[in-house]
Structure formats: structure tokens, C-alpha cells
Amino acid sequence: MPTVYATRRAHFNAAHRMHNPEQSDEWNRATFGECNHPNWHGHNYVLEVTVAGEPDPETGYVIDLGELKRIVHERVVRHVDHRNLNLDVDFLQGILPSTENLAVVIWQRLVDALPSGRLHSVRLFESERNAVEYRGE
Amino acid sequence: MPTVYATRRAHFNAAHRMHNPEQSDEWNRATFGECNHPNWHGHNYVLEVTVAGEPDPETGYVIDLGELKRIVHERVVRHVDHRNLNLDVDFLQGILPSTENLAVVIWQRLVDALPSGRLHSVRLFESERNAVEYRGE
Amino acid sequence: MPTVYATRRAHFNAAHRMHNPEQSDEWNRATFGECNHPNWHGHNYVLEVTVAGEPDPETGYVIDLGELKRIVHERVVRHVDHRNLNLDVDFLQGILPSTENLAVVIWQRLVDALPSGRLHSVRLFESERNAVEYRGE
Amino acid sequence: MPTVYATRRAHFNAAHRMHNPEQSDEWNRATFGECNHPNWHGHNYVLEVTVAGEPDPETGYVIDLGELKRIVHERVVRHVDHRNLNLDVDFLQGILPSTENLAVVIWQRLVDALPSGRLHSVRLFESERNAVEYRGE
Amino acid sequence: MPTVYATRRAHFNAAHRMHNPEQSDEWNRATFGECNHPNWHGHNYVLEVTVAGEPDPETGYVIDLGELKRIVHERVVRHVDHRNLNLDVDFLQGILPSTENLAVVIWQRLVDALPSGRLHSVRLFESERNAVEYRGE
Amino acid sequence: MPTVYATRRAHFNAAHRMHNPEQSDEWNRATFGECNHPNWHGHNYVLEVTVAGEPDPETGYVIDLGELKRIVHERVVRHVDHRNLNLDVDFLQGILPSTENLAVVIWQRLVDALPSGRLHSVRLFESERNAVEYRGE
């Protein structure tokens, strides 16, 4: 039986700041540069969630992408869109909001909302030039 | 020797409808929603075909991408472009034209037209937000 | 006072066919080629609606783009998305659904739903390579 | 002599919030919705600056686009990139940072740094779906 | 009767070099910098040609975009694609190949191949960040 | 510990020509077609470099993408941007500049400038339609 990878793209806009509170302000400025700016900056994030599996013989779908859209919205987008990623999001408390860490947390938010073993990857674009991918490994 | 993955992108425009004729109209409407609309809808599909192999020492090519373009056109695009995927395409008869099923059938159309073991993946975008990939496994 | 042009982008997927019923089948085939295919084809249309005016001193907005999104959805997108443009749309009855004619009709659908004189242009992309613009003149 | 329009694209990332301090919190929430979120949100802004004029017979350029890039960086981008548009930018003090108002202010920042009458338009994209243009009129 | 603007996009790849042979090598290096590199560099140019007019009542078209594609190919693309713009193109002899000058020459190549008064604009992108437009004025 | 894949995108413009000097001119013309044009042609190349690893607990980064940008610029972009890939680049001497061969050489330029085992892939787009990827295997 074929394994097909189905991807749904979503968007959210958020403010954030790179700042490790366990380090000095000096260390943070030297390490993160302008990304440490105290009054925040922000991004239009693009999120691509990929689910793997056999197409259902009845529907032809690995997953109903409308249903995947709803899960991604419910579990992720509605919590982070038009929010401050350092201050406002329960499941990001204590997490340094690098794109890498965001992708890992988004994976954790989604993996239990999907059938076991189906989530394949989370890709997150912070800009056209910077992106990360996490595959749960 | 290095293995390089070479990708060629193609496009086609087609009408389709999600409808499983073995199920009731009610089931189809409930399952596929607006994608079940009886008078069809359509998409600008984007198709990316990836071939893997060692670059030929004489040409530097894994495959001549102009030749790959011709194969993809001959085996796939000319049969589906400006067509109805439910009604008009020999190799889609009896296939529910989900993006997933299309990708698997496109793989089957291409795999024998390429040197053995060289086809690596078929990616098909139904829209900017929805895409699938099939790797022949 | 400054005049600013504010643009909102929307999308819809639809089937259509270029066919002039007042002409012979032969004329239609010769004129429209593959776009005349009897079983329809389709597109992911991209629609850009531009409204001109002075930013409101209270809001900084020429128009609330969320409100513009709602107007475009209500007046246009919900009628054409996942539809057949030749068969299903009241306001396209008797209209040959070229991108040009669609843009003019979309203008007519929007102009009265917006404050007088504010609609500036309607751009409609049938594909990445083909687009039209209508400015109400 | 021909008039040619030359455009340079730039990017910046910033946090902002829609909030009119002369109105009540209730009015702001009702008017701006999630864009009024108190802890800010943010965007990857795309800025397109267009200069009009005759190509110089010696250089073929309306303007050296490298020089235009430097002007746009010096006058605009370095002040707003990785900044909070409500708090951090001298030339935005007292300005409600709608995309419309930003475009007008960016015009004002650029018009005197370019030869008289050459600045043609400022386009600012807040996202792929929302954009504004200002032409100095 | 409505005036609609119809745009067709084309592509070509070419080598070029910014060099004014009436000036010294030193002047050229100081003026054009890396664009003056003696062994050439190159671009994937994107060309957008816009034609204005009333949609034909029989066809719904301002112009058959397939026909416009053929004209643009015949008059422009086949002469410049995979060519050196300084050395190989008859109609660019003696022209400094800035994007501005290319757009003006492309206009001149197209204006007589189209019905009188119909060519509206030529836009030429040298890269995602640099573009010019010429409207025949 | 999670493995995250972080990607940085860069650009360069270059001239090149497909020509194998060990073969006859006739063979080269027959094999490479217009890509063999003697006076060169060129491209806007897009380069995506992916690094894999665990996010650093102190910074949240697999790699500082600003640092990756600097490495890619220093080791690759500054040597090939606005250059002729057949004539001007030390590390391309004797290499037929197909996109495949370029990707392999770019890998070799980067692998030793990054911590051992961290470089995951090099993707190189010659155009929107043609791309290759090399993963060091």
C-alpha cells in the first residue's frame, strides 16, 4: 500500500524576542543582536504540517485537509496568531521562542491530536530566507 | 559517487470533483463538502518530479531536465491539462481524483518511462496551501 | 489629504469553459482551442481588490481590510468558489467567462457594496502567467 | 524622452499594535479586534519603492538601484527593522501604525532624499494578502 | 465600453554586463561595480506585457493571451533567451543593457506587432528585488 | 533530544555555459542545445543550505542563521555572485557547471566550515522550474 505525504499550509502573525532570562543582558545582546530588542519585533510565520499514511480507499485522502486545517487552527494557530510568543501562550511558557523551539513545541501540540504515527513533519518559516523542519526524531 | 536529486516543475489546469460512486449522494456531500459539487470545480495544479542519481561525467546531468520535461509532458501533462479528471483521462478511470491518488497514478505513469530506480518522488500541489508527495513506497 | 490604495487578496477555485453559444462548435474550437474542451477545465483564481481613499484619522484605515474581506466573500467568493462559472452563478448567466469578463462582473458586484467612488481596481489572475485588471473605466 | 519606473524591494520585521490612545479600550477592541492585542503582534513587511524618470544616457539607469537600496535602508529600514513601530521609531511618534499611515510616512522619509519629483510610489505589504500603495497625492 | 488590461508573463535567461564603451574602464568600474565584471554575469528575467482594450464581444478577450505569448516569443524571447545581451542581439546593438533600456527596447519591438494603441506597459524584473516598467511615454 | 533542520536561503547571479571541452563542438551543441551558446547565458540562482542538529539549550538555535549566512557568503556567494562560473571561480576550475555539479561543489565548500556532521543538504534552483539537491551521500 502506498504511503503518501499530505501537507497543509497555515499562517500566523506574532511578536517575539530572543532573550534567555538565565543569562545576563549583555550575553543576550551579544548572542541575539537585534533579535534581542527589548520592545519586541515580529513575523508573518508560515507553518507547513505534513501527515503521512495510506490514502483511504473510500475518500482518497491520507487525511481530510480541511480537518487537518481545523486541528492546526485549534491546537496551534488560534493560540499564537496576533500574540506575543514570549508572554501570551500557555504552551510556550519558559520556552525561548526560536523557530527551532517553536517547531518542536508545535509538533508536540499536534502529535496527540492526530492518529498515532501519522504526523510526519512540521516546517516553520520565520521569513522567506529562514526556515526549520522537525520530524519528531 | 554522489547522488543528486534533480527536480522539474510542470503545470496543468483541470476540472475535477470528489465523488465516490459506490457511496450515496448523502455520504458524498457529508464527506467531501463543496469538493463534491456536481458541476465540477478546478485547479491550477503544480507538479514537481524528482529523479535521483549520479551526475553523468560527460554532461554533469542526473537527467537532461529538458528530456524530463518531455517525458512528464508526454506521459502526464498532455493527458490531464485542460481536461476533466473524472471523465476524460484513460489512466484515471475508476480513480477518485484526490491529490493523493493523482500523485500515485502520476508516479506509475512515469516510473517505467525513466531508467530503473531513478524516479525519486512526485509532488503535486492542488493549491498554495495543499500539497502531497509520493515516493513510490 | 493623502489618497492611499489598499488591496486585499482572495482566492477561489472554479471550473469553466470558453464557449460562445451563438457560434458554431467549429468556430469555438478554432477560437478557444483547449479552453473550449466540452468537459470543462479549471483554475485557482487569485483576486485582488483595491480600494482608494484617505486613511480615517480615527483608525488609520482606508477601509478595514477584514471588512473588505467580508464584502468580497459575500458578494463574490461564496458564489464562485468550487463552482462552475458557466452553469452555477446567477450573476454570470449569459456571460462568456473569460478572465476579462469575470473582472468586469466582479467590479459590478463590488462597486455598490462599497462607499461611492472608493473601488479602484479589480485584478484577477487565472494563472501565474495570465492576469487582467479592470478599473471601472 | 522615455519615462521609466524603477522599483526596489526591501524587507523589515517589526512588532506593532493598532491602538488609538484618544479612544477608550472598549472602542479600540471593537474597532481593531485582534490587531489591538495589548502585548503586540508583528509582521514581515515588504516595501517596494518606485522612482520615475528618464534613463541616464551614460548609465542606462533611472537611479542606481544599489544607491536606492542604500537610501531606503538609511532613511527607513534601519529605523524600523526589528523594532516596535508604536514605541521605538522617532518619525512614527503619535502615528497609528496602520499600513496606510506607514506608507505615507515612508513616502515623507524618502521624498526629500531623492531628486525632486522622482519618487513615484511606496507600496507596503503587511502580508501576502494585505497591501497598500501611496503615490504622494 | 470597459477598458481591461490583460497581462502575459514570460521568462528568459541571459548573460550581460554593464559597460559604457565611451567611458574609461575606471569610470565603468566605479559606476557599475560588480555589474561591470568583464566575464559577464546573468539573470532569469521575468517579462510582463500588458495590453489594454475592450473585451471582444465574441471572445471575451482583450487579446488572445496565447497569441500575445506567440508575439512576445517571436519578437523578443527567442532573440534574447540563452543569449548575451551585449553581444548577440541585433536590436540591442549599441544599447547599454540596463533593465530600463531593455524595457524600452522591448516596448519598441512589441508596439508595432500589436494593434495600434493597445500596448499598455512592459514590466521587466531582473531579480525578485529589482524591476522596471515602461508605458511608452 | 530533538534533531531540527534549519535552512538559510541565499541568492547569486552568474553567467555560465554548458560545454565539455573534451568533446567536439558538434557533440556539445547536440547535447546541451541552447545551454551551449558560446557567448554565455545566466541565471539568478537560489541556494538553500540546511544544517541539522539539536537546538542549543542556551540559544534555541541549531545554528545562528546569521552565522550560517556569513559562512555561505564567505565560502560560496562572494566567489560566484556576478561571476562567470566557467572562467572566474577557483573551486570550479575543470568542473562542468551543471546545477548538479555546482551543488556538489558547494557542499564541499561548506562541509568543513561547519561543525562535523551538521551539513544536511544543499539545494540549488537554477530557475523556478529546475532545481537540484545534494545530501552528501
pLDDT at E134 over 90: yes
For the residues A24-42, what does the mean pLDDT come to?
Answer: 98
- D37 in active site: no
- β-bridge partners, C12: C45
Which residues 6+ apart lie within 8 Å of E77 measured at CB? E10, E11, E12, E47
Q: What's the pLDDT at F124?
A: 98
- Which residue of chain D comes nearest to C50, CA vs CA? D132
Q: What is the mean pLDDT of chain A?
A: 98
Q: What's the pLDDT at A68?
A: 98
CB-based contact B40 C81, cutoff 8 Å: no
CB-based contact D98 C66, cutoff 8 Å: no
DSSP labels for F66-114?
Answer: HHHHHHHIIIIIHHHTTEETTTS-GGGTT----HHHHHHHHHHHHHTTS
Cell numbers for C127, please give them.
Answer: 494563472
Distance from CA of B116 to the nearest CA of F (A): 19
The 10s digit of each residue's pLDDT in E35-84 is: 999 999 999 999 999 999 999 999 999 999 999 999 999 999 999 999 99
Q: Which amino acid is at E104?
A: V
pTM here? 0.97
Q: What's the pLDDT at F112?
A: 96
Q: What's the pLDDT at E81?
A: 98
Measured distance CA(C88)–CA(C128) in Å, rounded: 25
Q: What's the pLDDT at A1?
A: 86
pLDDT at B1 over 90: no
A 10 A CB-CB count for C117 gives 10
The 10s digit of each residue's pLDDT in B9-67 is: 999 999 999 999 999 999 999 999 999 999 999 999 999 999 999 999 999 999 999 99
Measured distance CA(C9)–CA(D32) in Å, rounded: 19
- Which residue of chain A comes nearest to B103, CA vs CA? A4
Q: What is the mean pLDDT of chain C?
A: 98
Q: Which of C11, C13, C88 sits opposite B42 (nearest CB)?
A: C13
Question: Percent of chain E at pLDDT above 70?
Answer: 100
Confidence band of C1 (pLDDT split at 50, 70, 90): confident
Q: Which of F98, F130, F137 sits opposite B55 (nearest CB)?
A: F98
pLDDT at E1 over 90: no
CB-based contact C62 D132, cutoff 8 Å: yes
Cell numbers for F115, please give them.
Answer: 561543525
DSSP 8-state class, residue E55: P
Pairing between strand F4-16 and F83-84? parallel
CB-based contact D9 E128, cutoff 8 Å: yes
- Point out the residues of chain D with pLDDT beneath 50: none
The 10s digit of each residue's pLDDT in C99-126 is: 999 999 999 999 999 999 999 999 999 9
- B35 in active site: yes
* Residue among B22, B35, B48, B128 flagged as catalytic: B35
Measured distance CA(F133)–CA(F95) in Å, rounded: 17
Which residues 6+ apart lie within 8 Å of F31 measured at CB? B58, B59, F18, F20, F23
Contact F9, F48 (CB under 8 A): yes
Q: What's the pLDDT at F13?
A: 98
For the residues A50-78, what does the mean pLDDT come to?
Answer: 98
For the residues B106-113, what does the mean pLDDT come to?
Answer: 98
Measured distance CA(C122)–CA(C102) in Å, rounded: 10
The 10s digit of each residue's pLDDT in E24-48 is: 999 999 999 999 999 999 999 999 9
- D82 in active site: yes
- Which residue of chain B comes nearest to F131, CA vs CA? B7
Chains touching A (3+ CB pairs < 8 Å): B, D, F
Cell numbers for B33, please give them.
Answer: 463538502
Cell numbers for E31, please give them.
Answer: 559606476
Own/partner contacts of F69-74, CB < 8 Å, gap of 24 or more, are F69/F8, F69/F10, F71/F110, F71/F113, F71/F114, F72/F8, F72/F10, F72/F47, F72/F110, F73/F10, F74/F113
Instruction: Write out residues 49-68 of C within 8 Å (CB-CB) of E.
Output: none
The 10s digit of each residue's pLDDT in F42-77 is: 999 999 999 999 999 999 999 999 999 999 999 999
| C4-134 placed in CATH 3.30.479.10 | yes
Q: What's the pLDDT at D1?
A: 86
Q: Which amino acid is at D132?
A: V
- Which residue of chain F comes nearest to B55, CA vs CA? F100
| Rg of chain D, C-alpha, whole Å | 17
Contacts of F60 in chain A (CB under 8 A): 18, 95-98, 100-101
Q: Establish whether this prediction's ipTM goes over 0.90.
A: yes
Among residues B69, B70, B113, the alpha carbon closest in space to that of B91 is found at: B113
DSSP 8-state class, residue B122: E
Among residues B123, B129, B111, B131, the alpha carbon closest in space to that of B10 is found at: B123
Residue environment code for E83-115, b if the CB has 16+ CB neighbours within 10 A, otherwise e: bbbbebbeebeeebbbbbbbbbbbbbbbeeebe
pLDDT at A13 over 90: yes
CB-based contact A98 F5, cutoff 8 Å: no
Confidence band of A118 (pLDDT split at 50, 70, 90): very high
* Phi, psi dihedral angles at D102 (to 5 degrees): -60, -45
What sign for the dihedral angle of Cα C132, C134, C135, D3?
Answer: positive
Pairing between strand A41-53 and E83-84? unpaired
Contact F75, F89 (CB under 8 A): no
For the residues E11-20, what does the mean pLDDT come to?
Answer: 98
**How many residue pairs bridge chain C and chain D with CB atoms within 8 Å of each other?**
59
Measured distance CA(E129)–CA(F44) in Å, rounded: 11
Contact D49, D7 (CB under 8 A): yes
* Phi, psi dihedral angles at B74 (to 5 degrees): -65, -40
CB-based contact D6 E135, cutoff 8 Å: no
CB-based contact D83 A44, cutoff 8 Å: no
Confidence band of F1 (pLDDT split at 50, 70, 90): confident
| Rg of chain A, C-alpha, whole Å | 17
Measured distance CA(D84)–CA(D97) in Å, rounded: 10
Sketch the domain layout of chain A as residue ranges: 4-134
Cell numbers for D7, please give them.
Answer: 522599483
Residue E66: strand, helix, or coil = helix
Q: B49 exposed, middle or buried (CB, 10 Å; 0-12, 13-18, 19+)?
A: buried
C128 touches chain E (CB under 8 A): yes
Which residues 6+ apart lie within 8 Å of D53 measured at CB? D3, D4, D6, D62, D63, D115, D118
Cell numbers for E59, please give them.
Answer: 471572445
